[in-house]
């Protein structure tokens, strides 16, 4: 169960900044929902995502995940996984070890780690690639490893920062469909940053439309009005 509540969240990167990177964000992401943060470059999507992850502090307000303020939890106790635009795989580790990394960190029993690596590799069709190093993979394969690593954790919260933006159009469509299935299976509350309206509309239960650091609209795809 992982509901995410933003309560009057504002962020300034430096006290000297005259404007906020995000301002007065208040909304709730229900447990198990897939929510996209949508808006043009610079509107504050990544800032919001990084604050939910605890990678950036909030300047005002608070973010409550599963009943606890993010800043009160030690980083390794946060029940979340992050998928980055540039995949952020460990270059010296094999695909299998990349997928297992977070599980080993959490001292999960070996047999359970093996089961989860196998399951994640099957879901993302990586079985034949488990011994390879990231540099011997294509971009699409690297992205699938990053997704496998995230879902192997079965986290309460999955965070995505433009995970498809480095893929070509065909691969993007395929991976998008895959993401939708993964979410339906795994059920982690998912927050997905994108500037692509169509992507947000097709993937999301709800969309948070942002503009200049503020929340402009929040609702289901059919509630949202998007300018053509």
* Residue 9 to residue 6: CA distance in whole angstroms: 6
Minimum distance, C-beta of residue 109 to ligand ADP, in the bound complex (Å) = 30
Contact 34, 192 (CB under 8 A): yes
The reply to whether 127 sits near ligand ADP by the rule CB under 6 A is no
Residue 124 CB partners (closer than 8 Å, separation 6+): 144, 145, 147, 148, 151, 178
- Which single residue is written with the structure tokens 């695909």? 95
Restricted to residues 162-181, the positions that interact with ligand ADP (CB under 6 A) are 171, 174-175, 178
Give the E-state strand segments of 84-139 in sequence order. none
Strand-pair category, 4-11 with 60-65: antiparallel
What does the per-residue mask of binding to ligand ADP show for 206-225, with x meaning CB under 6 A?
Answer: --------------------
Closer residue to ligand ADP, CB minimum distance, 66 or 85: 85
Closer residue to ligand ADP, CB minimum distance, 189 or 194: 194
Residue 112 CB partners (closer than 8 Å, separation 6+): 103
* Residue 193 to residue 79: CA distance in whole angstroms: 19
Minimum distance, C-beta of residue 110 to ligand ADP, in the bound complex (Å) = 28
CA atoms within 13 A on the CB side of 69: 9
The reply to whether 139 sits near ligand ADP by the rule CB under 6 A is yes
The reply to whether 204 sits near ligand ADP by the rule CB under 6 A is no
Closer residue to ligand ADP, CB minimum distance, 113 or 207: 207
Restricted to residues 17-76, the positions that interact with ligand ADP (CB under 6 A) are 21, 39, 41-47
Chain residues that interact with ligand ADP, rule: CB under 6 A: 13, 21, 39, 41-47, 125, 138-141, 171, 174-175, 178
């Amino acid at each position: 169960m992982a509901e995410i509540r933003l309560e009057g969240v504002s962020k300034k990167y430096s006290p000297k900044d005259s404007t906020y990177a995000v301002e007065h964000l208040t909304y709730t992401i229900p447990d198990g929902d897939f929510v996209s943060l949508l808006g043009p470059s610079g509107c504050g999507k990544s800032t919001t995502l990084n604050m939910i992850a605890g990678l950036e502090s909030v300047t005002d307000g608070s973010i409550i995940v599963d009943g606890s303020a993010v800043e009160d939890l030690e980083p390794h106790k946060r029940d979340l996984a992050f998928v980055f635009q540039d995949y952020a795989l460990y270059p010296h580790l094999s695909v299998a070890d990349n997928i297992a990394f977070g599980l080993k960190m959490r001292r999960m029993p070996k047999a359970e780690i093996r089961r989860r690596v196998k399951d994640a590799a099957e879901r993302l069709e990586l079985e034949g690639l488990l011994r390879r190093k990231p540099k011997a993979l294509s971009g699409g394969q690297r992205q699938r490893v990053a997704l496998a690593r995230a879902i192997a954790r079965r986290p309460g919260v999955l965070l995505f920062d433009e995970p498809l933006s480095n893929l070509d159009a065909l691969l993007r469509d395929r991976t998008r469909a895959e993401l939708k299935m993964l979410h339906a299976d795994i059920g982690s509350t998912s927050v997905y940053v994108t500037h692509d309206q169509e992507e947000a509309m097709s993937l999301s239960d709800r969309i948070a439309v942002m503009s200049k650091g503020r929340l402009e609209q929040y609702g289901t795809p059919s509630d949202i009005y998007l300018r053509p």
